[in-house]
Amino acid sequence: MSEEVVLEETRGAVKWVFINRPERRNALNEDVANGIIAAIEAAEADPDCRAILLTGSGDKAFCAGGDLKPSATGAPFTVNPADPRNFVVRMFNRMNDSTLPIVARVNGPALAGGLGLLCACDMAVASSSAKFGAPESGIGLFPAMIMPLLHRVLPLRKLFELCITGELFTAEEALQMDLINYVVSPEELDEKTEWLLGRITNKSPTAIRLGKIGFRAVRDMTLQQAFDFGQLLLPTMAQTEDCKEGFKAFQEKRKPSWTNK
């Protein structure tokens, strides 16, 4: 087994990123966070890369949360009160800023920080055997660090329920609350993941890149601000080489040849 805590593999137009700590149920630590950040930056620097796939090594977990260990005071982690900035937040910010779509392949439990990691991705395909939850309340904590992500993905009533009770829920329940896009059997997970990636990587990378900027921008705008932004963004997109090629291909009834420009 490689000692690297994050592994990268290029498969066609997709950068596959594996959290490689199966013995710790792929728990997050600073090395993992830095590895995911580095993988995103490498993917964005590759002009042939169209998407990022994030998953866990092995078949035991997607990510079981933060790698909590007792501090000298008995608390589950240490913090510098003069500089409380956390590596997990730095990773979430980098994922949010990614110009490439990030797809989660949920091959096992996504718990606590792992649930936040899932919410930081743009889309997700999950195994029917996966479990989800924010069990922090059971050890005297609350999922404060992942709360901004949970708020943007989950319905409010379900968010309260999972945060306050700390109980786990199934992949089918996760699908019903729009946490994930698809649920399939463990045997079908790779096939369904590749199917979704194929539907992403054959589209205009320029449109997706600018579209992700638009998603981030309008999320916290008023309705009028969002309309104003949209009517400025669309004409800009129409001037890109990808848009011109896409429109020409549509007229000529052929598949477009994307330029990524």
Measured from the Cβ of residue 240, the count of other Cβ atoms closer than 10 Å reads 18
- Find the catalytic residue in 3, 9, 136, 241: 136
Q: Report the C-alpha gap between 135 and 143 in whole angstroms.
A: 8
Clarify whether 188 is annotated catalytic: no
Task: Measure CA of the first residue to CA of the last residue in the chain; give whole Å.
Answer: 40
- Catalytically active residues are 136
